[in-house]
Amino acid sequence: MTKNEANVTFLGGAGTVTGSKFLLTYRGTRILIDCGVFQGLKALRLMNWEPLPVDAGQIDLVLLTHGHLDHVGYLPRLHEQGFSGPIYGTGPTLDIAQIILEDSGRIHEEEAKKANKEGYSAHEPALPFFTLELAQKTIDLFREVPQDAWQYAAENLHYRFVYNGHIVGSTYVEVKINDKILVFSGDIGRAHDPLLFDPKKPARADYLFLESTYGDRLHPKDDFERVLEPLIRQTIADRGALVVPSFAVERLQTLMYLLHQGFQNKTLPEIPVYVDSPMGNRVLEVFQRHPSWHKLRESDFRAILDDVTVVTSYEETWKVLHEEGPKIIIAGSGMISGGRVLTYLQQLIDQPTTRVLLVGFQAEGTRGRLLLEGAQELKIYGSYLPVRAEIHLMESLSAHGDQADLISWMSELRQAPECVYLIHGERPAQEALAQKIVDAYAWRVAIPKLHDVVSLAV
């Protein structure tokens, strides 16, 4: 490598939405941007168990764009493989990442125990992906940095975090090497979010690494109450359950906030709401600790908790299931790939009085995606269950910008990037977005594959 060349290796989030990991190398300094797990398709999930194709012990530092599992969930495995440098992120990002990693460690341990007891794992014995203890050792490496301020990483190599409105604390990352700027978009939020401010837009990017989750779609303008009101009414009429699988971070708080508003304004019929997410409360505390990162006021926190019953123990989960009468149940995880929602759907998916409302992106191979595609049966805890529930989708609650938002996010770049690399998207979304960028800006676009390495003149 010549001294004015940097390399980026795509270790995840290439040709797929999940597993974001981008290794930036410049003159012996190695920076990993995000460290997520693969989710969804089995072939992807199996890759989580392989060691990284690079020496983790040689990585100097990690930068986190935000706290979602597909951006932080591989950190304990990275630590286990020898990484012991600092992990940098904004305050709320590190708080969220801590909650997610601790929760994952607990779930991995529980699931391994359950699989061993009930004998449904293909592995003998089933091992946790990582333990709570390993998660906590990894969290010890977290170092908070403020947004917007340039940070020194090595000679002629600086970085900073800039607000991008996807979840609380989320940012894009700018890396300055000599006089070139690399921008890693992270996941880009949407304008006019009920809880978050609009994403900031970069003014300069010589090389842009752009997420493309919804690169081929425009979110419908389906108004929250217009979609939800009839679903609640029907649920009340047949005394059924409306199950909303939800990401514990952000979607859950947005749902609680919008439900509260709908009940207050009497635009939604009253119905008991159960929030079964052990993480949900801790995430609300993160909002409270970081008031400058979102629009919620102190009084909003009390108010949104007034309208819901928060379920904290597994025994209570069963009480909710046996509770007579109509109800809304909000439980993680958002793509039904794990979490408490599995217990609810195991009991309720075969009932015609059940409605399932999906509210976020559903990656290939997840149960959420299968339901959206009309699956007749669903495998939960090793058994196939017939799907008799109605399946609904509300894309307008997505935390990701759509194609128009992504195009608009690049609109303040004063000069053309040397290349836009599309990451964090499935192939059809990336191809559509690539075409759109060429049409709108006539810039050079590339769609890297997993493990590709690109050399950048810096």
Candidate segments 65-73, 154-162, 268-276, 303-311, binder of Zn ion by CB under 5 A? 65-73
**108: contact with Zn ion by CB under 5 A:** no
Q: Tell the smallest beta-carbon distance from residue 11 to Zn ion (Å).
A: 17
Q: Which stretch binds Zn ion (CB under 5 A): 63-71, 211-219, 307-315, 354-362?
A: 63-71
Residue closer to Zn ion (CB basis): 246 or 354: 246
Residue 162 structure tokens: 């800039």
Please, how many CA atoms are within 13 Å of residue 374, restricted to the half-sphere of its CB?
0
Comparing C-alpha atoms, which of 195, 194, 193, 203 is closest to residue 162? 203
Compute the distance between CA of residue 143 and CA of residue 207 in angstroms, rounded to an integer: 26
Q: What is residue 453's three-state secondary structure?
A: strand
- Indicate the DSSP class of residue 199: P
Q: Which of the stretches 184-192, 218-226, 350-358, 375-383 binds Zn ion when contact is defined by CB under 5 A?
A: 184-192
> Closer CB to Zn ion, residue 26 or residue 409?
409
Backbone angles phi, psi at 85, to 5 degrees: -85, -175
Rounded to a whole number of angstroms, the minimum distance from the CB of residue 328 to Zn ion is 24
Give yes or no for residue 402 binding Zn ion (CB under 5 A): no
Binding-site size, Zn ion (CB under 5 A): 2
Q: Which is nearer to Zn ion, 39 or 235 (CB)?
A: 39
Residues paired with residue 453 on neighbouring β-strands, in sequence order: 9
Identify which of residues 187 and 307 has a Cβ nearer to Zn ion in the complex. 187
From 183, 137, 142, 140, select the one nearest 159 (Cα to Cα): 183
We find the least distance from the C-beta atom of residue 369 to Zn ion, in angstroms, to be 17
Q: How many CB atoms lie within 10 A of CB 214?
A: 25
State the nearest-atom distance from the C-beta of 66 to Zn ion, in Å: 6
- Sequence-ordered list of residues with C-beta below 8 angstroms from that of 140, at least 6 positions apart, any chain: none
Among 95, 187, 250, 300, binds Zn ion (CB under 5 A): 187
Query: Residues 326-345: x/- map of binding to Zn ion (CB under 5 A)?
Result: --------------------
CA distances, 107 to each of 135, 155, 199 (Å) = 12, 41, 32
Cα separation, 38 vs 54, whole angstroms: 17
Choose between 70 and 307: whose C-beta lies nearer to Zn ion.
70
Least separation in angstroms between CB 126 and Zn ion = 28
Q: Are strands 241-245 and 354-358 parallel, antiparallel or unpaired?
A: parallel
Neighbours of 325 (CB within 10 A): 10
The strand ranges marked E within 178-272 are 180-184, 207-211, 241-245
Q: Compare residues 68 and 294 and give the one whose CB is closer to Zn ion.
A: 68
Stretch that binds Zn ion, among 31-39, 60-68, 387-395, 430-438 (CB under 5 A): 60-68
The answer to whether the CB of 436 falls within 8 A of the CB of 402 is no
Q: Which is nearer to Zn ion, 30 or 369 (CB)?
A: 369
Cα–Cα dist 25/291, whole Å: 35
Count CA within 13 A, CB hemisphere, residue 206. Answer: 13
Give the separation between CA 135 and CA 132, rounded to whole angstroms. 5
Task: Provide the sign of the torsion angle of the four alpha carbons 23, 24, 28, 29, taken in this order.
Answer: negative
Sole binder of Zn ion in the list 21, 30, 68, 217 (CB under 5 A): 68
Triad 199, 203, 209: Cα angle to 5°: 75
Beta strands in 138-213, from DSSP E residues, in sequence order: 142-144, 151-154, 157-163, 171-177, 180-184, 207-211
The distance of closest approach from Cβ of residue 166 to Zn ion in the complex, given in angstroms and rounded to an integer, is 6
Residue number, 68 or 160, with CB nearest to Zn ion: 68
The nearer residue to Zn ion, 9 or 20, going by C-beta atoms, is: 20
Q: Which stretch binds Zn ion (CB under 5 A): 180-188, 226-234, 305-313, 324-332?
A: 180-188
Q: Interface with Zn ion by CB under 5 A: which range of 43-51, 118-126, 181-189, 381-389?
A: 181-189
Rounded-to-integer distance, Cα 322 and Cα 75, Å:
38
Q: Which is nearer to Zn ion, 12 or 326 (CB)?
A: 12
211 binds Zn ion (CB under 5 A): no
CB of 28 to Zn ion, least distance (A): 31
424 binds Zn ion (CB under 5 A): no
Looking at 68-76, 144-152, 259-267, 330-338, which segment touches Zn ion (CB under 5 A)?
68-76
Q: Which stretch binds Zn ion (CB under 5 A): 122-130, 138-146, 182-190, 253-261?
A: 182-190
Q: Is residue 250 at the binding interface for Zn ion, with CB under 5 A as the rule? A: no
Question: Shortest distance, CB of residue 423 to Zn ion, whole angstroms?
Answer: 12
- What is the contact surface with Zn ion in residues (CB under 5 A)? 68, 187
